[in-house]
A and B are shown apart, each in its own frame.
Chain A
Amino acid sequence: MTETGLTAEAIALRSAEIRGLEGLASKPMSFGLLAWRRFLRHRLALIGAVGIVLIALGFIVQPWTSSWDFDEIDPIALGGDQGISAQHWFGTDDIGRDLMVRTFHGGRSSLQIALVVAVVSTLIGVTLGAVAGYFGGWIDVLLGQVTNLFLIVPALLVLAVFAKRWDNKNSLAIVIACLLWTGIQRVVRGLVFQIKEQEYVQAARAAGARPGRILVRHVLPNVVGPVMVNLTLTAGTAIALESTLSFLGLGVKPPTPTLGNLVFEAKGRIDSQPIKVLLPAFFIVAITLCINFLGDGLRDAVDPKAAGERAG
């Protein structure tokens, strides 16, 4: 009858008549259970989760399976640049180190950095968000300006400047983290604002509950969801940022391999031996994809209203 109809699902879903009804006649499900079901249904997220676990495991387990060390030079592969062979499944780099080992070691480093970035930036963001939301007033305004500041400066340029100075794995991670906390800060701030106004919180305050207790008891449960999403998505951004920095020759320097600087080392010979570039690049993309799938699924599980963003 009617053709494509812009608001098909929209009208259907929005009308309260349909939305509130699923499962009302059956046993009521807790929010956690509903979120879990939605997540499970999101197959892509599952693939992402499985993918990242497999990759991480692969990186971790690898040292036991291979005979080479990441910076060990194979004397037989004199002159380096060996192609695929039995001893070196993906060949060697230009000075004779096994490429696969280096890639997997690099993968570990990259994942490590991503993890640290995700955790630290989320911590910073949550704390600042809670402070801004709870205390409001001039503290909030000040923090707002600071957040704006961080949001506005061109990320890579600024990172490049600071990364030069702090270029070992952990310091670099913290530098990156210092740039990525703004997103979660805004979310937490908004949440705290909202919750602060709720009557049950006002009642708690009237009864004398200390700010800490209120934050933990009322705010924290609501924050868990967005935090999980943020952790995941920030890790993805971190991988991209770190590998880009390393690719430019900034960031982590050889011999410590990361996926990014492996590409950096190999880019000169991309014409003759593209595999050296493709292998670490593949992992960068694969990891980012899996993380994005996972993060998307988490976000969908936590906030079904964002459903329009799903990959399909």
Chain B
Amino acid sequence: MNGEPLLAVESLTVRFKTEEGVVQAVTDVSFDVFADEVLAIVGESGSGKSVTAMSILGLHGRSANISGSIRLDGRELLGLREREWREVRGRSIAMIFQDPMTSLNPVFTIGDQIVEAIRTHNGDVTKQHAWNRARELLDLVGVPEAGRRVRQYPHECSGGMRQRAMIAMAIANDPKLLIADEPTTALDVTIQAQVMEVLHDARRATGAAMLLITHDLGLVAGSADRVQVMYGGRMFERGSIDEIFYGSRNPYTIGLLQSIPRLDTRTEQRLEPIRGAPPSLLHPLPGCPFGPRCRYAIDRCLVEVPDLHEVGPNHLSRCHRAEEIDLFSTVEVT
């Protein structure tokens, strides 16, 4: 974590105009991604993590009101014209989506789609060359019989293979940053580990940094260097893997950690779910978004949004009681 960050997001706020009103999807989110690291953004549905990811590639449309700053290698991305965005997408930054069945075009072969990714950004590459490269990439991501597979359609491949193809497509142009939005959610558990490994291999082969978006804390543990937890469109905690998993100072994160089933949980112990439901992004309540569900909430929590407290050298937590709370604390529960 030295030097300038590869990606610097500052005070990102995203609002959507919808039929029902204005949705505050993301509010004042800031983070950095450094070259050659993996930053995981964790949150449940509605936390704003996917919206954040898509903002980095400018994939939102007219109905989105985006403010703040997103800088890649020092270059400001927000406000780019469509033509300029197109040079970034699929080249400097590449994205892998959640469901490879629906994310790949069913009427074109896998090879077609990878070749398209290659030739869009390298106009002078011949078709022959591109197809060879596509085969190489499929090999790289561990697809057996790549030569045959490259001419197949998505529906002829298994889920894991499709996701590998997506990864191959994403790294085709040696991106500096890979954004993986829930890359394993749509896959069988047994395949998940394999795909994550492929993802890491791909990352190492290209030297790219990775932004891993997921709701699965378990996935994060084996994959990320740093973790950022989001809730209700806001950043709630950020730190290194160890700091978050063993030294969390945020009630929401702690709640998440306690609700994960673990192999060493004793059978009589109950899983602790977080009661309540996620907040409405349409009518945000004043105060901390997690307030109504928080075991440690005090009056102040329902009135005032907490600032980010620095609870460690690179460890931030948004909580009024951040200093008092930790995983093993016996702080009064209200």
Which residue numbers of A lie inside 8 Å of B, CB to CB?
1-9, 11-13, 15-18, 20-26, 41
Contacts and interface: CB of A to CB of B under 8 A. Distances in A.
Given A17-B48, A20-B45, A12 B16 contact: yes
B16 A2 contact: no
Interface of B: 16, 18-20, 23, 25, 45-51, 54, 58-64, 66, 78-80, 82, 85, 277-283, 285, 292
B50 A1 contact: no
Considering residues B51, B61, B85, B278, which has the most beta carbons from chain A within 10 angstroms of its beta carbon?
B61
Contacts of B45: 16-17, 20
23 contacts: A1-B58, A1-B80, A4-B61, A4-B62, A8-B60, A8-B61, A8-B62, A8-B64, A9-B61, A12-B63, A15-B54, A16-B45, A17-B45, A17-B46, A17-B47, A17-B51, A18-B18, A18-B46, A22-B20, A24-B278, A25-B277, A25-B279, A25-B283
Contacts of B283: 25
A22 B280 contact: yes
B166 to A, nearest CB: 18
Nearest to A17: B46
A15 B82 CA distance: 22
Given A1-B80, A2-B85, A17-B47, A11 B18 contact: no
Contacts of A4: 61-62
Nearest to B78: A1
A225 B318 CA distance: 46
Contact of B280 (A5, A12, A13, A24): A24
A21 B64 CA distance: 17
Given A1-B58, A12-B16, 14 more contacts: A5-B60, A6-B61, A11-B54, A12-B60, A12-B64, A13-B18, A16-B45, A16-B50, A17-B48, A17-B49, A17-B51, A21-B46, A21-B278, A23-B280
Q: Is the interface of A mostly helix, strand, loop or mixed?
A: loop
Given A23-B280, A24-B277, A25-B280, A18 B63 contact: no
Contacts of B48: 17
B59 A15 contact: no
B278 A15 contact: no
A25 to B, nearest CB: 4
A149 B118 CA distance: 48
B46 A20 contact: yes
B280 A11 contact: no
Contact of A3 (B49, B82, B282, B292): B82
B78 to A, nearest CB: 7
Contacts of B47: 17
Contacts of B18: 9, 12-13, 18
A1 B277 contact: no
A1 B79 contact: yes
Contact of A22 (B60, B62, B66, B282): B282
A309 to B, nearest CB: 15
Contacts of B64: 8, 12
Contacts of B58: 1-2
Contacts of B80: 1
A11 B18 CA distance: 12
A11 B63 CA distance: 10
Nearest to B17: A12
A11 B59 contact: yes
Closest 3 CB pairs of A and B: A5-B61, A8-B61, A25-B280
Given A3-B82, A16-B45, A21 B282 contact: yes
Contacts of B285: 25
Contacts of B49: 17
Contacts of A1: 58, 66, 78-80
Nearest to A26: B280
Contacts of B292: 25
B61 A18 contact: no
A18 B16 contact: yes
Contact of B60 (A11, A21, A25): A11
